[in-house]
Amino acid sequence: MPPREAVNYFGAGPAPLPTPVLEAASKALLNYEDMGIGIAEMSHRSPQANQILADTKAALATLLDIPDDYDILFTQSGGSGQFSAVVFHMVSIWVERARQSMEKQWANDDTMKNASEHERTQALKSIINTTMKLNYLVTGSWSLKASQEAARLIGQEHVSIASDSRTLRDGKFGGIAQESDWHLRHPVSTGVLPELRTPALTWMCDNETVDGVEFPAFPKTLEANDGDAMVVADMSSNFLSRKVDVRKYAVIFGGAQKNIGTTGITIIILRKSLLPPQAQMASPTLLRQLGLPVGPIVLDWPTIAKNNSLYNTLPILDVWIAGQVMQRLVNTYGDKKIVGQEEISNQKAGALYGALDAYPQIYNVVPDKSVRSRMNICLRIKGGDADAEKKFLAGAEERLLLGLKGHRSVGGIRISNYNAVSVQGVEKLVKYLNDFASG
């Protein structure tokens, strides 16, 4: 059996973690801070657990320069759970805004002023049915799944696919359309008040893990909306790999099992203005009357925030591991913060793409060059030759370069270049890429 230091793992998630963090975790599992019990055994409501939460939040806020008017939540259910939670929350806010706006308008309408509660509800339902939109930028498998979940919950009529990258490549992902070709929905129906002419949200997956596509920067079109777009970003697989201007987003979320930690927690960064008391939300009774879903309590952001992420039993070990990974980045890069890691990530990605591009007759990088992911490098060998790809994977395993098989839905090869993948590991893989192509 090879020692850990001899293996280089490029799997897409669960992904490698820094060895020093795992060594510290092994000790914490047995005896955390000389308590005589392990970290996985202690109460999630203990002073120690609360300190772990505070330290992890502080490290993340430092790395990303998270403003004070944003909150950080920890929850379970993975990134996929947030496909639902985001819809529950953002729709509830939009519906309550619609209700209040229409009530003001109806105050000057003699007919509606004397209308019954049922009549008002039906009138509100009509407005919502014709006006409420959720924009989705479908750039890969995960944003597609998110849009499908939204349609399942609230109906396809409310989900606007502002862009579908499959139209660029004969039904396959691998690109991002020019922003001028996006069709973001901003309802302007006659009689609709100005405050209702914004979408409930605009969804983007910053990095598509399966398809190897990453937004090179924040879209200028969404920036021009001056926050009205309510941008929600799934950053599960490029979290903490580059500098992010948090203020441009209403919500950022990601599962921890890529760059941050172990499977078990999801991290959410959101504007405090989206939480009570600043944000008012439609009541469950009203949502049911309108035919809209009411989300489970464990996905309810106000409940999670009010309880400091401890409404139910949070896996504190997973939070602690994430915090240790973050604190290592803080200690390593100092004043550079996350820009220090961004430089390393870009260096590794550049070396890998350089080796692949040097042998176009052997390696075909799947995504368009303008949107290549720095985190998940997807390629085919000899145009997708099955025998050649099997040979490549077998040779890689002989050199203890593991986890290179592509996602089952697309096949091929996928090199995941997460933060814990060392420069030395990438150099070994680059050598193998050169040797395989030359052999």
Q: What is the dihedral of CA 99, 105, 109, 115, to 10 degrees?
A: 10
179 in a domain, yes or no? Answer: yes
Domain final residue pick, 272, 289, 317: 317
In this model, does residue 89 exceed pLDDT 80?
Answer: yes
Range of the domain at 229: 64-317
Question: What are the angstrom distances between the C-alpha of 112 and each of 100, 127, 298?
Answer: 14, 14, 37
Start-to-end CA distance of the chain, whole Å, equals 28
Question: What are the angstrom distances between the C-alpha of 41 and each of 20, 37, 74, 75, 316?
Answer: 22, 6, 19, 19, 9
Q: What is the pLDDT of residue 189?
A: 47
Residue type, 106: W
How many structural domains comprise the chain?
Answer: 2
Same domain flag for 281 and 370: no
Domain final residue pick, 267, 282, 317: 317
Output the domain CATH number for residue 391.
3.90.1150.10
Q: What is the pLDDT of residue 109?
A: 82
Same domain flag for 244 and 374: no
Same domain flag for 359 and 301: no
Count other C-beta atoms under 10 Å from residue 419's C-beta: 24
Same domain flag for 170 and 93: yes
Report residue 353's pLDDT band, with 50, 70 and 90 as the boundaries.
Answer: very high
Same domain flag for 220 and 263: yes
194 in a domain, yes or no? Answer: yes
Domain final residue pick, 317, 350, 376: 317
58 in a domain, yes or no? Answer: no
pLDDT mean across residues, the chain: 95
102 in a domain, yes or no? Answer: yes
**Average confidence (pLDDT) over 340-361:** 98
207 in a domain, yes or no? Answer: yes
Q: Write down the number of H helices and E strands in the chain.
A: 13, 14
pLDDT tens sequence across 199-230:
999 999 999 999 999 999 999 999 977 677 89
Give the least confident one: 76-80, 95-99, 104-108, 412-416: 104-108
Same domain flag for 144 and 281: yes
In this model, does residue 143 exceed pLDDT 80?
Answer: yes
CA angle 52/57/62 to nearest 5° reads: 130
pLDDT tens sequence across 11-61:
999 999 999 999 999 999 999 999 999 999 999 999 999 999 999 999 999
Same domain flag for 111 and 200: yes
| Cβ-based neighbours of 354, under 8 Å, separated by 6 or more | 430
Same domain flag for 258 and 128: yes
39 in a domain, yes or no? Answer: no
Output the domain CATH number for residue 190.
3.40.640.10
In this model, does residue 195 exceed pLDDT 80?
Answer: no
Report residue 274's pLDDT band, with 50, 70 and 90 as the boundaries.
Answer: very high
In this model, does residue 191 exceed pLDDT 70?
Answer: no
**What sign does the dihedral 156-158-222-181 (CA atoms) show?**
positive
Per DSSP, 358 falls in state T
Same domain flag for 210 and 176: yes
| Nearest by Cα to 133 from 94, 170, 182 | 94
Tell me which residue has tokens 């599992």.
29
Q: For residues 245 and 199, what is the distance between their CA atoms, to the nearest angstrom?
A: 21
Query: DSSP letter string over 16-77?
Result: ---HHHHHHHHHHHH-GGGSSS-TTTS-TTSHHHHHHHHHHHHHHHHHHT--TTEEEEEESS
Same domain flag for 343 and 260: no
192 in a domain, yes or no? Answer: yes
Radius of gyration of the chain (CA): 24
Same domain flag for 279 and 188: yes
In this model, does residue 187 exceed pLDDT 60?
Answer: no
Same domain flag for 156 and 216: yes
